[in-house]
Amino acid sequence: MITRENSLLALIDVQSKLLPQIRNADALIAANAFLLNVAKLFNVPIVATVQYVAGLGATHPQLQALLASWQIEPIEKMTFSSLQDESCREAILSPNRRYVVVIGIEAHVCVQQTVLDLIEQSRTPVIVRDAVSSRSVADLETAIRRMEAAGAIVTTAESLAFGWCHTSGTPEFKEMLKHLKAFDAAKHAIEASNTVS
């Protein structure tokens, strides 16, 4: 089981200048924000990375605001795989969590290379299907298949959140439901906007 006690959440390179080119970017941001909030609620360690900020910009403002409120500073890297950067590698591996939940962009570049390196380090990567994306469908879907074939677990944001929660009827469960309702509302608003346009 993927639990709050054996997980770490890695937010990979969700940066403002790259997002306009990313498929379903608004839905990606909603899923990422949901998972950040739920990870914080359940005391799951969070690591955030950024790639070449001068060219790709800072973390998306909504996600940056959440990270800043918890005093989490994204780690800048130049390598595509987070594990090839010494600071990122230390931050991700030092908590010694079996499952590393990987969300962000792009699925076929920085996410995929991080996932493959995690497997080399005997960690089990967890890919949240609705919280990763790329510029093209072909790149996204091929990356998901490759990562799963290599040993990563593929799940969804809501499924993961309920796994971390484990039981109903607690104050944490009620708080998680608030975040889930906000996530659902964001998804419905995005779908409505896409229908109109």
- What pLDDT score does 122 carry? 96
Catalytic residue among 40, 77, 85, 165: 77
Q: What is the pLDDT of residue 191?
A: 84
Q: Are 135 and 20 in contact (CB under 8 A)?
A: no
Whether 66 shows a pLDDT value over 60: the answer reads yes
From the list 13, 85, 117, 130, the catalytic residue is 13
DSSP H helical ranges for 11-60: 25-41, 53-56
pLDDT value at residue 65: 97
Task: Please check whether the domain covering 7-196 is classified as CATH 3.40.50.850.
Answer: yes
The pTM of this model reads 0.95
pLDDT digits (tens, 9 = 90+) for 128-174: 999 999 999 999 999 999 999 999 999 999 999 999 999 999 999 99
Pairing mode of beta strands 75-77, 46-51: parallel
Decide if 165 is catalytic: no
- 77 catalytically annotated: yes
Where does the pLDDT of residue 197 fall: very low under 50, low under 70, confident under 90, or very high at 90 and above?
Answer: low
Inform me whether the pLDDT recorded for 193 exceeds 90. no
Distances (CA, A) of 13 to 53, 62, 123: 9, 14, 20
Please pick, among 40, 85, 88, 110, the residue that the annotation labels catalytic.
Answer: 110
Coil, strand, or helix at residue 13? coil
Please say if 88 is a catalytic residue.
no
Task: Report how far apart, in Å, the C-alpha atoms of 37 and of each of 40, 62, 137 are.
Answer: 5, 12, 27
Average pLDDT for the chain = 95
Degrees to nearest 5, angle at CA 108 with 73 and 45? 30
Please give the pLDDT value at position 14: 97
Average pLDDT over residues 53-62: 94
DSSP symbols for 105-119: E-IIIIIHHHHHHHH
Reported in sequence order, the residue ranges of 59-185 that DSSP labels E, i.e. its strands, are 75-77, 99-105, 124-133, 153-155
Does the structure show a pLDDT above 90 at 195?
Answer: no
Give yes or no for residue 25 having a pLDDT over 90: yes
Please report the pLDDT score of residue 129 as a whole number: 97
Domain ranges of the chain: 7-196
pLDDT in tens, 90-130: 999 999 999 999 999 999 999 999 999 999 999 999 999 99
Among 96, 120, 104, CA closest to 50: 104
pLDDT of residue 196: 64
